[in-house]
Amino acid sequence: MNILLIGSGGREHTFSWKMSQSPLCTQLFIAPGNAGTAQHGTNLPLDIANFEAVKTIILERDIKMVVVGPEAPLVQGIYDFIENDTALNGVMVIGPAKSGAILEGSKAFSKAFMAEYGIPTAGYQEFSLAELEAGMNYIDTQTPPIVLKADGLAAGKGVLIINDREEAKVALKKMLEGQFGAASSKVVIEEFLDGIEFSVFTLTDGKDYKILPIAKDYKRIGEGDTGLNTGGMGCVSPVPFVDAELMKKVEERIIKPTIKGIQARGMTYKGFVFFGIIRVKNEPFVIEYNCRMGDPETEVVFPRLKNDLVKLMTAMSNGELSNQTIEIDERSATAVFLVSGGYPEKYEKGKEIRNLDQVKNTLVFHAGTKAVDNKIVTNGGRVIALTALGDTMEAALAISNQNATIIDFDGKNYRTDIGFDLV
Ligand code: AMP
Ligand code: GLY
């Protein structure tokens, strides 16, 4: 069958790499894609918010499966759009309907959902602008740091962690007055959890679930986890401190009740559930849900997945996930991200990427890259993820780190300490 993958990051390059290995995949189209996805299929220009344009591609290219990488089209209802159009009958969409994507699309919704199904998460209250005073009074009752979360999608910038109550009140007011547009017309204020985070991924067809390899990403720009937040500087899978006992707690207390809640509420969900988990004194709590795979987590999770991904996703779409068995490569996978100088603040694009053909024993997943005049140039802050597999995390990291010295572009920056807190 012909497949359309929506998105353009390292996650999507990894999806395209994995899906193109499947005998079930005839032609793969990626919209808009990047220079990496073009190695595995045909890139098509697309504004991913334009569902009519998606429809045109589906019809013109005889697409039978649409795989949605990022959250925004899911939260905006791309599943429902395709499902409700008779001209698109029988087209599978990988990702939840709007009714499921709201788990990521509204923090207030997800907090109420977790409360209803007894899923461990930080204590919270939500406030609108009309309740500003109550919000400020609530901050007075909290011990800093104060965690403020815009209710809706804010391009990963909607969470503020503030050490001072008065500053938090000013920030609350700013958010409610529209700092993140409609996304912060409601704000969740929640208890700060002090612990270590990791990412858990499941596939679900709305009834059953399958657990994929877990991962941990490194979000800060600087060595030792310092400096500004980024879209991810590196990643490891598995995560050494997440043992069978902790994973059992995650499954029993978090995954099972979430899938039960999805089913009980009649949410349509044929896609990935990404649980952002924090471990506090060996107990797991949900920090957030995402309705998609993670980035850069996908770059280490899929290389460890032995299954045919297209077969798994087809089973998921048909409600037959229970027949599938997940097979995992026991080795460790690590990814080191090469980023543009200046990122996550101001940076330049269009720098030629050199030595791409010189890497050894490494998967090169493109994120912000573009082909121009037979050259590959940088086209974003996060440029390339270098994924290696090894018998130990240290062995894999040695390969990722070595190859990070080989690929080069003006201004290249990367962290040399991915996994530093796990050894
Ligand atoms: P989110 O967008 O909800 O994932 O939040 C972004 C980041 O803020 C998370 O990955 C955590 O590092 C941090 N964070 C969010 N909520 C909390 C919390 N309740 N306690 C501590 N850290 C948090
Ligand atoms: N790595 C975190 C995310 O994809 O949201």
> Among the atoms of ligand 2, which is closest to the Cα of residue 219?
1
Residue 188, strand partner residues: 126, 149
Q: Which domains does the chain have, with CATH numbers?
A: 2-95 (3.40.50.20), 123-190 (3.30.1490.20), 196-422 (3.30.470.20)
Q: In the prediction, which pLDDT does 181 show? A: 87
The best mutation among 199, 229, 272, 365 to test binding of ligand 2, ranked by most ligand atoms within 8 Å of the C-beta, falls on: 199
Phi, psi of 260, deg, nearest 5: -60, -45
Per DSSP, 356 falls in state G
Say what the pLDDT of residue 423 is: 81
SS3 call for 40: coil
CB 69 within 8 A of CB 15: yes
Residue 120 preceded by cis peptide, ω within 30: no
Q: In this structure, which ligand is nearest to the CA of 191?
A: 1
Tens-place pLDDT, residues 92-137: 999 999 999 999 999 999 999 999 999 999 999 999 998 999 999 9
- pLDDT reported for residue 155: 84
287 CB under 6 A from ligand 1?
Answer: yes
Cα angle value 123/127/131 (rounded, 5°): 135
Closest CA to 189 of 220, 163, 161: 161
Its pTM stands at: 0.96
The CA distance from 411 to 216, in Å, is 26
Tokens of residue 368, six digits? 């912000």
Which residue has the CA at smallest separation from atom 1 of ligand 1?
Answer: 288
In 306-392, where does DSSP find H-type helix? 309-317
Predicted pLDDT of residue 391? 98
Helix or strand (DSSP H, E) at 285: strand 283-290
Distance 85 CA to ligand 2 centre (A): 31
Nearest C-alpha to atom 7 of ligand 1 is from which residue? 159
Segment (H or E) for 172 = helix 165-174
Q: In a mutational test of the pocket of ligand 1, which residue from 159, 197, 280, 292 has the highest number of ligand atoms less than 8 Å from its CB? A: 159
* pLDDT of res. 43: 97
The ranges of the chain with pLDDT < 70 are: none
Q: What are phi and psi of 99, to 5 degrees?
A: -65, -20
**How buried is 282 (Cβ within 10 angstroms: 0-12 exposed, 13-18 middle, 19+ buried)?**
exposed
Q: What are the distances in angstroms from CA 305 to CA 3, 201, 214, 312, 416? A: 20, 12, 11, 11, 26
CB 92 within 8 A of CB 62: no
Residue nearest to atom 2 of ligand 2 (CA): 294
Question: Which amino acid type is present at position 110?
Answer: S
**pLDDT at position 156:** 77
Instruction: Provide the H-helix boundaries in 10-145.
Output: 10-19, 51-60, 71-75, 78-83, 98-105, 107-116, 132-141
Residue 149: predicted pLDDT: 94
Q: Whose CA is nearest to atom 6 of ligand 1?
A: 159
In this prediction, residue 234 carries a pLDDT of 98
149 CA: nearest ligand 1 atom: 3
- Ligand 2 pocket test, candidate residues 75, 297, 298, most atoms within 8 A of CB: 297
Q: Determine contact, residues 176/187, Cβ cutoff 8 Å.
A: yes
CA R_g for the chain: 21
Ligand 2 first shell, C-beta below 6 A: 217, 232, 290, 294-295, 297
Given a contact cutoff of 8 angstroms between Cβ atoms, the answer to whether 236 and 333 are in contact is: yes
pLDDT at 157: 84
Residue with tokens 């080795």: 331
